[in-house]
A and B are shown apart, each in its own frame.
Chain A
Amino acid sequence: MGGGVARVVLGSFFVLFVLFLYGPTLTILVLSFQGPDGGLTFPMNGVSLHWFANLFETQAVGDFGGALSRSLMLAGMVMLTTVVVSVAAGMGFRRRFAGSGALFTLTVASLIVPSILVSLGIGLLFTLMGWDTAWYSSAFGAQLTWTLPFGVLIMFAVFNRFDRSWEEAARDQGATAWQSFRHVVLPIIAPSVIGIALFGFTLSYDEFARTLLTAGSDNTLPLEIFGMTTNITTPVLYALGTVTTLLSFTVIGLALAGVALLRRRRLGSPAG
């Protein structure tokens, strides 16, 4: 009997927890379908896609579409750079070289510098040099100070467990350095690389503080949303929430599908 009670208590607790997690998102999802005359709160005043359409029109106070595409592009750039640099650094740092300790410390140090200071510093530097801050230059750099150390640390952990004799075997089998990387190293570390890519993408996509003083005149999505919360009072905000949430789920789904595909090919029948 005691087990039954515990199950009910724990079960209800779990349901409450899930509600707490997804309740607000669900509320936003529902409210984003408000009718054209609906407000920010319940009750629903009809059901429509009005606010979704509204979302992609340039408005007086906000430019959702522009911000979203800028954010996506920036996240893509950050993702790509993080993956390439992290994998290269992971490979490079397997051997000690002059200054490797100092370089490592310097890389990881940017993790502990408060993000708003990084943003301020980079913003100031650009002002001092007379350059214009922009999402694709200064904000890009500022976000890399956050994603790169993470990616590099993950790659260090991956290569710590990486058996060097795999590469020696590849060389023994006549693989060039590039073939050894392409056909042995990369497939073995692929799941971690996908992890870093995802993670670089998300960290960039929802980064706020580091972009705040470096994005220049064109906002990224988080900055745009923040700006709107103070100015806009229509359900278009909710429509935005719904679209971005869907986007996140799509990215996660794509990543999982990618991992599953890799695993199938690995277990799989005739792989070349």
Chain B
Amino acid sequence: MTLPDDVELVAVTKRYGAAIAVEDVSLRIPRGTYCCLLGPSGCGKTSTLRMIAGHEIATEGDVIVAGENVTTLPPARRGTAMMFQSYALFPHLSCLDNVAFSLKMKGVDKTERRARAGEFLALVQMEKYAERLPAQLSGGQQQRVALARALITRPKVLLLDEPLSALDPFLRGRMREELKRLQRELGISFIHVTHGQDEAMALSDLAVVMNNGRIEQAAPPREVFERPSSAFVARFIGGHNVLPDGGSTIAVRTDRCRLGEPGNGPHLPGRVSAVEYQGALVRVALTGADGEEAVALLPDETFFARPVAIGDAATLVWSPADVHHLQAA
């Protein structure tokens, strides 16, 4: 017997009047998956998340959670829980009462719900702050409380709307590790909306790249990086040169490009437009004869063996084996 996927979207469309936010999106998220919905703002990733959560109702199509069609069910009856971008902690309740809120709504008695809320606060290392109000906490602490409040409902799927965007870079890195750890320990699916490709690469088992309300590519992040399905994905995920090649378009990873002599292999002549020292790597940007922009990401020793400066003529070369052909957009 095969277990149903945690989430399945079947030809889901969301319209606001004449505007289409999400168009004909189909997606399967297997059990226990860390899934990132990735894309630029306005690509439909948040609308998709909110339709899974039940805070928006799909105009067309079906939303299935753990084998049950939940398309029109209220949020609390879907087996999902949402962590909001602003955290949306109730400002008049202490951390403990925030976390205990869902139990209170269910009529669980006070002693028990406070004990259980305490356990979940401990899960996110916030038990010391149980009696504080949200306004007395830092952004990172508020987020932990919001996480505990979502998890206490024992969801099959946790939905996170840009959870890391309000944190400073240092805290973001730590929270990222922690989210991944929690997801693995709890064994449930996380669906995490982000516009940061590095976040998606670091966290996801399944990266879903969206653009203009549609899914461009849904695959493990390594596959998205190594075999982007379109010029959009290659550009958005970063680390690729997207270049014309005869009538079609190719993508070549910037770390596979070198500066060298135009031999028989593929190459692009141009001028150096920028040089960025990044420590282990040096990023050299080139502008081709027809105005194409390309980048070579060179190991520092390779660069310093034959350094170039802005304005120098240089030729970008790569191996035919590294060429990835993109589908016509």
Contact = CB atoms under 8 A, between A and B. Distances in A.
Interface stretch (B87-95, B256-264, B269-277, B290-298): B87-95
B91 A173 contact: no
A169 B90 contact: yes
Interface string A11-44: 0000000000000000000000000000000000
A192 to B, nearest CB: 13
Interface stretch (B101-109, B203-211, B218-226): B101-109
A184 B90 contact: yes
Contacts of A163: 86, 88
Interface in A134-174: 163, 165-166, 168-174
Contact of A170 (B101, B106, B150, B153): B101
A269 B105 CA distance: 20
A174 B94 contact: no
B158 to A, nearest CB: 11
A256 to B, nearest CB: 19
A165 B84 contact: yes
B74 interface: yes
Contacts of A4: none
Interface in B51-95: 53-55, 74-76, 81-82, 84-86, 88-94
Nearest to B89: A169
A188 interface: yes
A174 B106 contact: yes
B23 interface: no
A171 B90 CA distance: 12
B110 to A, nearest CB: 6
B163 to A, nearest CB: 13
B151 to A, nearest CB: 12
A173 B88 contact: no
Given A165-B88, A188-B91, A188-B92, A179 B110 contact: no
Contacts of A175: 76, 101, 105
B97 A169 contact: no
A188 B135 CA distance: 13
Contact of B84 (A169, A266, A269, A272): A169
Nearest to A165: B88
A112 interface: no
A271 B75 contact: no
Contacts of A173: 76, 81, 101-102, 105, 149, 153
A94 interface: no
Chain A CB within 10 Å, residue with most, of B74, B101, B106, B110: B101
A187 B92 contact: yes
A175 B55 CA distance: 13
B52 to A, nearest CB: 12
Chain B CB within 10 Å, residue with most, of A169, A176, A266: A169
Interface of B: 53-55, 74-76, 81-82, 84-86, 88-94, 97, 101-102, 104-106, 110, 114, 131, 133, 149-150, 153
Interface of A: 163, 165-166, 168-176, 179, 183-184, 187-188, 266-267, 269-272
